[in-house]
Amino acid sequence: MNSPRSAQKSHSSLEIEAIDPDINTDVAREIMGWQVIEMAWASDQTVPVWHDAKGDPVMSEFSWRPDRDEAQNMQLIERMIDLGYDFDLSLKRDHAIARFVAGHRFGQSLNPDRKLAALEAALEAVRSRPESAS
């Protein structure tokens, strides 16, 4: 994840970072409040399916891709706003800066991919602790 200091990088030093393979799972669990439950499927197989807090199925685990899907990325942003965060996105020629702020909770990411910037900033924000709690 990128810290606020990442914004101090020169544009020429930006490189696409390796995508955290767990970022979609972390977002589903920590922000969306979902859990995976195996469900029976055709041919005696089971499929991991995300379920919401009420226990209703949302989508298969493999279909949740807010790192690539525009609608799912917006779903994450809307969820963060519902949780009380303000969202700010700044698009530059070669990168995006995403910020979520709620009181003393703050997350920011600078990334060449704006969807990843939003995911990283959201996770940093929900994982942050107010300084007075340290």
- Tell me what pLDDT residue 2 has: 46
User: What does the pLDDT look like over 50-100, one tens digit per residue?
Assistant: 999 999 999 999 999 999 999 999 999 999 999 999 999 999 999 999 999
Q: What pTM does this model have?
A: 0.80
d(CA 35, CA 29): 6
Set out the domains of the chain in order of their start, with CATH numbers. Answer: 19-133 (3.30.2120.10)
User: What does the pLDDT look like over 115-132, one tens digit per residue?
Assistant: 999 999 999 999 997 655
